[in-house]
């Protein structure tokens, strides 16, 4: 056997090396903001106690009709499964008696146990993110070539939103993983009539929509694409409709459909709580559900919503993608999409069709397209950028140099994200409080714990909206007030329970805007004594809970 050439050896070790580098990026500062009980500095992350509550209420009673309004059950169940080995070890050593939802939750050392489970939840995201990078390579390998696959996987691995969500117990990393696994399984299904690719495709698709229903549009065209490419392989003298029937309905497709239906039924607990499953579908459709007071999401589909609204959606999408990729890589990705359309019909079909349908049917249905909704587009854009980048680099030496610079910039942006986590402004605020405020100091806040420094050990109170008034602050007279630049409008507004009433997402509190204005202008007996912020050099952040500016006001005698 001849020894491997240097190029072949490099190609063989490139993917493992990239995955190891990604693992280092995702695990560095994995304990960001921890320990913090059941809370996290990542907005909408699921804490261990929240997971326990969802799982318990999902299975405690036969056909109760209960459902978790925010997300499907797929991700909470995945997190719960990751806790099981640790909980078993606690039970075996006598540190866990019976889980409860009140302190100390049945745990001998609740703070350390919640910390470990929070880390386990984040490790799930790390595993999903590494899997997404590997699957991106696998998709690129089948649609293009090995070098393009490596380059596309690199762009995905170093995109700062991908790196960020690997550090959290948000569902986004798992959601993207299931979508990309479905796409990979669909490509395998077009190349074979064996059942296992269809089973993978059906299972992954079910897990994707059971993690976040928003992904249904991305998945919608995949069965059509599989059938369209499989019909070409049907042999014999069959007519057009007979060939389509044989391609669409065979033992492999039946296995995939069965895998999908079984997974949806089990993961959503539809067998033991069909009423709850039906209630969630009713809630998503905007219909009221008895006993549920959760606000309705701003969902409204229209074939065409007028030029101003359509342009607004395009601007929101491009803003999110420019933040996620950076302008040079975004331009390369957009040009790469056009290149793929011209040069690769199969690649264009499998990459651009799901993205286009996702945008049209899913993202446009939302009133606001945020960065986290565009994460699947980073995978598609990374592969398109890789396809054009390799073509340019093979044709012009200056193109190869430019491509190397873009790759280095991606890595630098990922490293800067990790450094932002390490030096989060909330850490700085905590150190200031530790040295300037005594334990008996009273502290008032008006925002979610995700946006604020950790305040354990202090007399801390989160004041409800109706009490955020000039008279209210004079009556309470806290020693310190802490506000964050993240979701700052939440200080003065609350979510509209039904956005259709007035088509507004937020409703102002009666006295809160005047109170906040007076506080920031220092017209109250409070002075801003400290401000902590970070200014990234390479990143234009579009993630609300990432490194907000923290302001601390202290009461003074007038």
Q: What pLDDT is recorded for position 1?
A: 41
Q: What pLDDT is recorded for position 241?
A: 66
Find tokens 């350390």 and name the residue.
112
Find tokens 């109706």 and name the residue.
466
Please name every residue paired with 444 in a beta bridge, in sequence order, or none if there are none.
Answer: 461, 481
The sign one gets for the Cα dihedral 319, 325, 328, 331 is: negative
Distance CA(216)–CA(225), nearest Å, equals: 15
- Sorted by sequence, the CB contacts under 8 Å of residue 164 that are 6+ apart come out as 417, 543, 546
- φ and ψ of 93, to 5 deg: -100, 10
Q: What pLDDT is recorded for position 249?
A: 82
Tens digit of pLDDT per residue, the chain (558 long)? Answer: 444 455 555 667 889 999 999 999 999 999 999 999 999 999 999 999 999 999 988 887 888 888 888 899 999 999 999 999 999 999 999 998 888 878 888 899 999 999 999 999 999 999 999 999 999 999 999 999 999 999 999 999 999 999 999 999 999 999 999 999 999 999 999 988 889 999 999 999 999 999 999 999 999 999 999 988 877 766 555 666 676 777 778 888 999 999 999 999 999 999 999 998 998 988 888 777 777 766 777 777 888 988 999 999 999 999 999 999 999 999 999 999 999 999 878 999 999 999 999 999 999 998 889 999 999 999 999 999 999 999 999 888 888 999 999 999 999 999 999 999 999 999 999 999 999 998 888 999 999 999 999 998 899 999 999 999 999 999 999 999 999 999 999 999 987 776 666 667 778 888 999 999 999 999 999 999 999 999 999 999 999 999 999 999 999 976
E strand or H helix at 495, and its extent? strand 493-495
> Residue 401 CB: number of other CB atoms within 10 A?
10
The sign one gets for the Cα dihedral 516, 517, 523, 529 is: positive
Q: What pLDDT is recorded for position 4?
A: 45
The string of DSSP codes covering 493-516 is EEE-SBTTTTT-SEEE-SSHHHHH
E strand or H helix at 552, and its extent? strand 550-555
Q: What pLDDT is recorded for position 9?
A: 56
> Residue 166 CB: number of other CB atoms within 10 A?
29
**Among the listed residues 138, 150, 149, 213, the one whose alpha carbon sits nearest the alpha carbon of residue 183:** 138
Q: What pLDDT is recorded for position 499?
A: 65
Q: What pLDDT is recorded for position 53?
A: 92
Distance CA(256)–CA(361), nearest Å, equals: 24
Strand, coil or helix: what is 142? helix
Distance CA(188)–CA(485), nearest Å, equals: 46
Tell me the CA end-to-end span of the chain in Å, nearest whole number: 87
DSSP state of 449: G
Q: Is 251 left (phi over 0), alpha (psi -120 to 50) or beta?
A: alpha
Count CA atoms closer than 13 A to 541's CA, side-chain side: 20
Q: What pLDDT is recorded for position 282?
A: 87
E strand or H helix at 478, and its extent? none
Q: What pLDDT is recorded for position 187?
A: 95
């Amino acid at each position: 056997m001849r020894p491997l050439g240097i190029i072949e050896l490099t190609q063989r070790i490139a993917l493992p090396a990239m995955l190891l580098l990604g693992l280092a990026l995702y695990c560095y500062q994995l304990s960001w903001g921890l320990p913090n009980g059941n809370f996290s500095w990542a907005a909408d992350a699921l804490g261990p106690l929240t997971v326990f509550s969802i799982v318990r209420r999902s299975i405690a009673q036969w056909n109760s009709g209960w459902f978790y309004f925010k997300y499907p059950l797929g991700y909470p169940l995945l997190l719960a499964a990751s806790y099981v080995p640790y909980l078993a070890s606690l039970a075996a050593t006598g540190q866990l008696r019976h889980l409860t939802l009140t302190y100390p939750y049945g745990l001998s050392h609740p703070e350390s146990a919640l910390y470990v489970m929070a880390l386990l939840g984040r490790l799930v995201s790390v595993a999903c993110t590494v899997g997404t990078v590997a699957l991106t390579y696998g998709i690129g390998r089948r649609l293009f070539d090995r070098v393009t696959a490596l380059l596309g996987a690199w762009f995905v691995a170093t995109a700062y939103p991908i790196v960020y969500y690997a550090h959290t117990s948000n569902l986004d990393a798992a959601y993207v993983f299931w979508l990309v696994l479905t796409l990979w399984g669909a490509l395998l299904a077009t190349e074979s009539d064996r059942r296992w690719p269809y089973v993978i495709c059906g299972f992954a698709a079910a897990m994707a929509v059971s993690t976040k229903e928003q992904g249904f549009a991305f998945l919608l065209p995949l069965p059509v694409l599989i059938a369209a490419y499989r019909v070409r392989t049907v042999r014999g003298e069959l007519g057009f409709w007979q060939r389509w029937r044989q391609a669409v309905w065979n033992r492999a497709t039946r296995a995939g459909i069965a895998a999908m239906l079984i997974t949806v039924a089990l993961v959503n607990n539809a067998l033991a709580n069909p009423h709850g499953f039906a209630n969630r579908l009713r809630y998503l459709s905007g219909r009221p559900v008895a006993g549920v007071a959760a606000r309705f999401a701003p969902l409204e589909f229209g074939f065409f919503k007028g030029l101003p609204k359509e342009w607004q959606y395009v601007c929101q999408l491009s803003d999110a993608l420019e933040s996620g990729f950076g302008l040079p890589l975004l331009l390369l990705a957009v040009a790469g999409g056009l290149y793929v359309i011209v040069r690769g019909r199969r690649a264009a079909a499998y990459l651009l069709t799901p993205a286009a349908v996702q945008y049209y049917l899913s993202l446009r249905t939302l009133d606001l397209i945020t960065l986290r909704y565009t994460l699947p587009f980073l995978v598609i854009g990374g592969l398109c950028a890789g396809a054009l980048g390799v073509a340019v680099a093979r044709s012009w030496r200056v193109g190869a140099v430019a491509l190397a610079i873009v790759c280095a910039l991606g890595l630098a942006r990922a490293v800067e994200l990790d450094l932002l986590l390490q030096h989060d402004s909330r850490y700085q605020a905590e150190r200031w409080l530790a040295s300037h405020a005594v334990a008996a100091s009273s502290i008032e806040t008006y925002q979610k714990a995700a946006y604020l420094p950790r305040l354990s050990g202090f007399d801390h109170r989160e004041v409800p909206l109706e009490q955020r008034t000039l008279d209210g602050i004079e009556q309470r007279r806290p020693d310190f007030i802490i506000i964050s630049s993240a979701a700052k409008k939440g200080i003065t507004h609350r979510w509209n329970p039904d956005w259709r009433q007035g088509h507004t997402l937020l409703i102002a509190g009666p006295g809160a805007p005047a109170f906040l204005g007076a506080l920031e202008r220092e017209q109250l007996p409070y002075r801003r004594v400290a401000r902590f912020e970070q200014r990234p050099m390479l990143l234009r952040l579009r993630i609300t809970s990432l490194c907000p500016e923290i302001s601390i006001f202290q009461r003074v005698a007038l």
